[in-house]
Amino acid sequence: MTTNFNTDLLRDQTFDLLSGIANDPTKFEEFNSAYMTKNQERTDVDILRKYTRDIYDKIISLQIVQINSGVQLKDCFHEKLVIIYFWAFSDIHSSNMLQKLIGIDKRYSTSGVTIIGVHSPKYEHEKNKANVRHAVEEQSLPFTVVNDNGLQVWKHVGCQVLPTVLVFGPDALPIFIFEGENHIQHLETFLTSALTHYKSSIRALPSTSSAVKTSPEDMAMNGISNETGYMQNNDFFVALKHTKFTYPSHLCVTSNGQLCISFAGSNQLILCEIDGKVVEVVGNGHPGMADGDVQQSEFDSPHGLIEFNSCIYIADTNNHAIRVFDPNSRRVLTLIGTGRLGNDKVGGLKRSQQPIAAPWDLCITESPFDHKTVLLISMAGQHQIWAYAFEETQWWNDVILQKNSCMAIIGSGVEENRNASEPMSACLAAPRGICNGLIHGEPVLFIADSNSSSIRVVTLKNGNVTNLVGGDADPTNLSVFGDLDGSGYNAKLQHPLGVAFHYPTLQLYLTDTFNNKLKRVDMNTLACSSCFVTDTDTKKQRGESNSAKFSEPHGLAIFDHFMYVADKNNSHIKRVDLNNGTIVRCRFNMKETLNEERSFGSKQAYLTINLPDGLQLRESNTGTWSIEDEDGFKICDGELMRYASDQILLDYIPRDKNVAQLKYELVVCEGEKCSMMSGEVRPINETDSAVEFLIKIEQTDNDSS
Residues in Cβ contact with 55 at an 8 Å cutoff, skipping those fewer than 6 apart: 84, 153, 156, 157, 166
Burial class for 525, CB neighbours closer than 10 Å (0-12, 13-18, 19+): exposed
Q: Which of the given ranges, 24-38, 265-279, 478-492, 675-689, has the highest pLDDT on average? A: 478-492
The 10s digit of each residue's pLDDT in 601-631 is: 567 788 888 888 888 888 767 888 899 988 7
Name residue 512's beta-bridge partners.
517
- Is residue 336 a contact partner of residue 321, using CB atoms and an 8 Å limit? yes
**Taking 80 as the threshold, does the pLDDT of residue 702 lie above it?**
no
Q: What is the DSSP string of 71-87?
A: --GGGGGTTSEEEEEEE
Q: What per-residue confidence (pLDDT) applies to 234?
A: 41
- For residues 240 and 505, give the distance between their C-alpha atoms in angstroms, rounded to a whole number: 40
- Is residue 578 a contact partner of residue 562, using CB atoms and an 8 Å limit? yes
- For residues 464 and 439, give the distance between their C-alpha atoms in angstroms, rounded to a whole number: 13
**Average pLDDT of the chain?**
87
Q: Which of 46, 183, 163 lies closest to 115, judged by CA? A: 163
The 10s digit of each residue's pLDDT in 568-605 is: 999 999 999 998 888 888 887 665 444 333 233 567 78
**Taking 70 as the threshold, does the pLDDT of residue 221 lie above it?**
no
- The model carries a pTM of 0.81
More confident residue, 675 or 358: 358
Q: What is the mean pLDDT of residues 655-667?
A: 87
Q: Which of the given ranges, 180-184, 234-238, 510-514, has the highest pLDDT on average? A: 510-514
Q: Which of 79, 82, 67 lies closest to 114, judged by CA? A: 82
**In b/e form, how buried is each residue of 450-474, taking b as 16+ CB within 10 angstroms?**
bbbbbbbbbbbeebbbebbbbbbee
Under DSSP, the state recorded for 215 is: -
- For residues 605 and 610, give the distance between their C-alpha atoms in angstroms, rounded to a whole number: 17
- For residues 387 and 378, give the distance between their C-alpha atoms in angstroms, rounded to a whole number: 9
Residues in Cβ contact with 326 at an 8 Å cutoff, skipping those fewer than 6 apart: 310, 311, 332, 333
Q: How confident is the model at residue 277 (pLDDT cuts 50, 70, 90)?
A: confident
Cα-to-chain-centroid distance, residue 671: 44
Q: What per-residue confidence (pLDDT) applies to 653?
A: 76
Q: How confident is the model at residue 698 (pLDDT cuts 50, 70, 90)?
A: confident
Q: What is the mean pLDDT of residues 359-382?
A: 97
**Taking 50 as the threshold, does the pLDDT of residue 385 lie above it?**
yes
- Is residue 433 a contact partner of residue 496, using CB atoms and an 8 Å limit? yes
- For residues 327 and 324, give the distance between their C-alpha atoms in angstroms, rounded to a whole number: 10
- Is residue 546 a contact partner of residue 639, using CB atoms and an 8 Å limit? yes
List of domains in the chain: 7-218 (3.40.30.10), 224-342+353-585 (2.120.10.30), 601-696 (2.60.40)
The 10s digit of each residue's pLDDT in 227-274 is: 333 333 444 444 444 457 899 999 999 999 999 999 999 999 999 998
Q: How confident is the model at residue 167 (pLDDT cuts 50, 70, 90)?
A: very high
Q: What per-residue confidence (pLDDT) applies to 547?
A: 45
Q: Which of 2-6, 370-374, 439-443 bottoms out in mean pLDDT, i.e. has the lowest?
A: 2-6
DSSP alpha helix (H) spans, 475-575: 536-541
Q: What is the DSSP string of 145-169?
A: EEE-TT-HHHHHHT--SSSEEEEE-
Q: How confident is the model at residue 646 (pLDDT cuts 50, 70, 90)?
A: low
- For residues 258 and 276, give the distance between their C-alpha atoms in angstroms, rounded to a whole number: 9
Please give the share of the chain, as a percent, with pLDDT higher than 70. Answer: 87
Q: What is the mean pLDDT of residues 496-508?
A: 97
- For residues 169 and 534, give the distance between their C-alpha atoms in angstroms, rounded to a whole number: 52
- For residues 122 and 337, give the distance between their C-alpha atoms in angstroms, rounded to a whole number: 30
- For residues 320 and 317, give the distance between their C-alpha atoms in angstroms, rounded to a whole number: 5
- For residues 150 and 121, give the distance between their C-alpha atoms in angstroms, rounded to a whole number: 8
- For residues 162 and 41, give the distance between their C-alpha atoms in angstroms, rounded to a whole number: 31
Q: What per-residue confidence (pLDDT) applies to 672?
A: 83
**Taking 90 as the threshold, does the pLDDT of residue 139 lie above it?**
yes
Q: What is the mean pLDDT of residues 455-472?
A: 98
**Taking 80 as the threshold, does the pLDDT of residue 703 lie above it?**
no
Q: What is the rounded end-to-end Cα distance, in angstroms, of the chain?
A: 73
Burial class for 638, CB neighbours closer than 10 Å (0-12, 13-18, 19+): buried
- Is residue 588 a contact partner of residue 276, using CB atoms and an 8 Å limit? yes
Nearest 5°: phi and psi at 487?
A: -120, 150
**Taking 80 as the threshold, does the pLDDT of residue 278 lie above it?**
yes
- For residues 673 and 699, give the distance between their C-alpha atoms in angstroms, rounded to a whole number: 13
Angle at 497 between CA 495 and CA 498, to 5 degrees: 145
Q: How confident is the model at residue 217 (pLDDT cuts 50, 70, 90)?
A: very low
Nearest 5°: phi and psi at 583?
A: -125, 125
